[in-house]
């Protein structure tokens, strides 16, 4: 048990909930061997409770910077209620011996389902039809294509991409993937080199983790190597796609359309891209279903409780390698 658990309530470790998570998960946390301060409704109140915090629960609003960590001298655990931890300075956390945990499985189904929905919107060319009907037009006629027979190329083949591939199978698609950390698969998806994925895909679907090495993984050179008229879908991180290069590829017709749930800057400032007639933009809501958020809250609270009880953690995020 953490120091003081056997003492009075005031001696229990303080866990601060900085961002909104599922209400049932907060109540579950209150039942654990800790005090809970829910600061999610008033971000300005966070600074006052950080000095005594043993644990900190965040989603994406709170940026766990070096400065924030310095303001929390007793902090031992940062719990991210979601998958990505790019809002946490993991180097600074590791230097302090602070453990970072997340909820990597919570949003898998939701992001996978959104991916398939975006594929269908693009391939069937539905955005112009939706816009036209809303504007009072009734524009029928032949348009769009079937998803059946298309090749979907996954950039990154982790948990979410595999779940997308499973959902795509009944459509009669072919799946290929590029992932430097995956050699073989057990689901029929073929692992191919990067260039082969670009030239061989009707839809290039981005699922890679964000690293310092893969910023603008899809850049002007990559778009030029794609099949003319292919589609781009990004449900991972905005920095993986060079938005200026994407806009130029859309204007030239090299890229037939794009669906983006993530952008380099959020909310977006590149209005030319957001308003392009062959672009669909959603406001980073891949993990925002009620089901995914319930799972994220539950999973991360269970991990906090395991840490409080000195039980083995299931979802500790590895400390980053620091290069000399």
R_g of the chain computed on alpha carbons: 22
Among the options 162, 237, 295, 298, which is catalytic? 237
Scored b (16 or more CB within 10 A) or e, 245-279 reads bbbebbeeebbbbbbbbbbbeeebebeebeebebb
Q: Is 140 an annotated catalytic residue? A: no
For residues 292 and 106, the answer to whether their CB atoms sit within 8 Å is yes
CA distance 96 to 284: 31
Among the options 127, 216, 284, 306, which is catalytic? 284
Total count of residues recorded for the chain: 324
Q: Is 266 an annotated catalytic residue? A: yes
CA distance 13 to 3: 8
Conformational region of residue 96, where left means phi above 0, alpha means psi within -120 to 50, and beta covers everything else: alpha
Among the options 266, 275, 291, 311, which is catalytic? 266
CA distance 279 to 261: 11
Q: Is 284 an annotated catalytic residue? A: yes
| Residue in the structure block whose two tokens are 């309530």 | 9
Active site residues: 237, 266, 284
């Amino acid at each position: 048990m953490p120091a003081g658990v056997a003492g009075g309530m005031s001696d229990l470790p303080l866990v601060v909930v900085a961002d909104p998570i599922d209400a049932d998960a907060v109540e579950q946390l209150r039942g654990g061997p800790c005090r809970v301060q829910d600061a999610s409704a008033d971000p300005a109140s966070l600074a006052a409770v950080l000095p005594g915090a043993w644990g900190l629960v965040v989603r994406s609003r709170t940026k766990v910077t070096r400065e924030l960590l310095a303001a929390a001298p007793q902090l031992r655990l940062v719990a991210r209620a979601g998958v990505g931890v790019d809002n946490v300075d993991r180097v600074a956390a590791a230097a302090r011996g602070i453990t970072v945990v997340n909820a990597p499985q919570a949003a898998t189904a939701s992001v996978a389902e959104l991916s398939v929905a975006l594929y269908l919107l693009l391939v069937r060319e539905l955005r112009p039809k939706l816009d036209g009907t809303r504007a009072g037009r009734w524009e029928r006629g032949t348009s769009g294509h079937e998803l059946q027979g298309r090749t979907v190329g996954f950039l990154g083949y982790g948990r979410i991409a595999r779940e997308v591939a499973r959902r795509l199978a009944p459509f009669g698609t072919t799946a290929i993937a590029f992932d430097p950390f995956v050699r073989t698969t057990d689901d029929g998806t073929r692992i191919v080199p990067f260039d082969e994925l670009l030239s061989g895909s009707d839809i290039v679907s981005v699922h890679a983790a964000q690293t310092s090495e893969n910023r603008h993984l899809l850049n002007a050179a990559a778009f030029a190597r794609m099949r003319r008229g292919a589609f781009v879908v990004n449900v991972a991180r905005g920095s993986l796609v060079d938005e200026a290069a994407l806009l130029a590829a859309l204007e030239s017709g090299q890229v037939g359309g794009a669906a983006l749930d993530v952008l380099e800057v959020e909310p977006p400032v590149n209005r030319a891209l957001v308003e392009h007639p062959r672009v669909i933009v959603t406001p980073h809501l891949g993990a925002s279903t009620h089901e995914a958020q319930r799972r994220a809250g539950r999973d991360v609270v269970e991990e906090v409780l395991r840490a409080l009880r000195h039980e083995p953690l299931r979802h500790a995020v590895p400390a980053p390698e620091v290069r000399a």
